Amino acid sequence: MSKFEFPPSIKSRPVWGTLEARQGPAHLFISDAEGAEAILDVATPEIMKTAHIIYIPKGADFADQLRALNPAQFYEGPSYAASVQRIRKTLEDAKMGLQVYLSGTEGLMGQAQNEAMQAGIEFNAIQTEHRGSTARRMQCVHCKGITEDVETDPFVCSHCGLNLFVRDHYSRRLAAYQGVCIDAEDPGNVPEPKGIYE
């Protein structure tokens, strides 16, 4: 099973739920990697008749299992960036009552949640479930660059090269955690990197 129990943290840190099948005229599932398992857990033939699944494998291989559910529409994208136009168009064309389900990594869920909210879907109406990697999408507060899939603390900003402390502070607007220079006052004094949840 690819579920992870996140430790308690500050209020701005997202709390992910568990997907539940809901009644509605249409169902949009956006998932990456092991997030497909959450779709498989809630899928019913009735829901799949009006379901649109957007799946980004990220090295996992659940595409055949998802196709076997016989959704009304299925799209497999190479990355979130390559899939975002499809996500936007689907949300733009959505009718009242669309059920939105997001599952997989925090980076995918945060970005897709942001797109859904910009399309007018209430934050509390969007279901989420974390599955798979606990790597974070991080923003450097100094250069504003985003580094994807950060697994260690501290890490080196992929844009400006600063050594950044991985904070639990999360920006819903950016769908990213915030990273702050760890050796600003004592350059070079950087602790050994370790896993974020070690």
181 lies in a domain? yes
> What amino acid occupies position 94?
A
Structural domain harbouring 108: 27-130
Verify that 99 and 143 share a domain, yes or no: no
pLDDT (tens digit, 9 = 90+) per residue, 19-59?
Answer: 999 999 999 999 999 999 999 999 999 999 999 999 999 99
168 burial type by CB count under 10 A (0-12 exposed, 13-18 middle, 19+ buried): middle
* Distance set, CA 156 to CA 3, 146, 174, 180, 192 (Å): 27, 11, 19, 10, 12
- Residue 31: enclosing H or E segment and its boundaries? strand 27-32
- Residue 178: enclosing H or E segment and its boundaries? strand 176-181
13 lies in a domain? no
> How many C-beta neighbours within 10 Å does residue 147 have?
18
Which of 130, 157, 177 is the last residue before a domain boundary?
130
18 lies in a domain? no
* Distance set, CA 19 to CA 78, 103, 109, 134 (Å): 24, 8, 12, 18
**pLDDT score of 12:** 86
- Residue 106: enclosing H or E segment and its boundaries? helix 106-118
For the entire predicted model, the pTM comes to 0.93
CA nearest to 152, candidates 183, 193, 105: 193
14 lies in a domain? no
Q: Could you give the CA distance from residue 98 to residue 128 in angstroms, rounded to a whole number?
A: 15
- DSSP states along 107-155: HHHHHHHHHHHHTT--GGGEEEEE-S---EEEEETTT--EEEEE-EESE
Count of structural domains, the chain: 2
Residue 5 token pair? 């129990």
**pLDDT score of 1:** 47
Residues with pLDDT less than 50, the chain: 1
Which of 106, 130, 154 is the last residue before a domain boundary?
130
Q: Could you give the CA distance from residue 23 to residue 3 in angstroms, rounded to a whole number?
A: 25
**pLDDT score of 71:** 98
